Amino acid sequence: MEILLVEDEPSVISLIQRGLKGENHVISVAMDGYTGLKMAGLHPYDLIILDVMLPGMNGLEICRNIRKTNQDVPILILSALNQTEDIVEAFNRDADDYLTKPFKLDELRARIDRQSRKARQQTMTGNTITIDNLVMDRDSKNVQRGGKSVILTATEYRLLEYLMVNKNKILSRVDILEEVWGIDFNMSTNVVDVYVNYLRKKIDYTTEKKLIHTVIGMGYILRNEN
């Protein structure tokens, strides 16, 4: 993969470069926010890794600006901030993954491999998933409920897609964290519950027929309540 690393700590840059050496990744580095954003707009990278605290422009602002023109490139946030609100804010800016510092190289490699697999899967022909009057076109990434378009963020879309692909199956919070966010370092975070609530407001609150259900003590399931 061609990777853009936007990071201002030389020790972290060196660690990542040495840790990924020999894995056929090409790593370009920007050490401030404005340079990172400029580089992201000039070259079609396969993955962008963003620190949050950067000179000039922080990583979340870079992410927001990238998403104005590029919805497809995977963005991994690398940050020392590990509170739920920090993670939620990153995903609200349409980041694809979030890894906290200090991190293990094996976990970073696994996150990069996961994004690479997802990118390959997205190049395959998609299909349409229908549950009751909820329709997801995986080719166009368009979602409709009752014939009306539902506007979702990238993270909300991934969560809904995972629920719909596994319709009628109970999914634990751990399952959802690992599949949708790739987060396995902090199982106490309530980011899943936060985003399920976001989805419910867009999918279920406008109709009497609910599709997203809580299974107490087990997780969530998407199914026709009848």
Chain mean pLDDT for the chain: 88
pLDDT at 120: 61
Q: Model's pTM, two decimal places?
A: 0.66
Measured between alpha carbons, how far is 177 from 192 in angstroms, rounded to an integer? 7
Torsion sign, CA atoms 185, 190, 193, 197: negative
pLDDT at 125: 43
pLDDT at 91: 92
Per DSSP, helices labelled H in 179-221 are 191-203
* Residues forming a β-bridge with 49: 5, 76
Angle at 9 between CA 4 and CA 14, to 5 degrees: 65
201-219 tens-digit pLDDT:
999 987 888 999 999 999 9
Residue 109 has pLDDT above 80, yes or no: yes
177-180 long-range contacts, Cβ below 8 Å, gap at least 24? 180/155
Of 160 and 46, more confident: 160
pLDDT at 124: 46
Residue 178 has pLDDT above 90, yes or no: no
Q: Mean per-residue pLDDT for 38-48?
A: 92
Which residue type does 202 have? K
117-173 tens-digit pLDDT:
776 665 444 588 888 889 999 888 899 998 899 999 999 999 999 999 888 889 999
Q: How many CA within 13 A on the CB side of residue 114?
A: 17
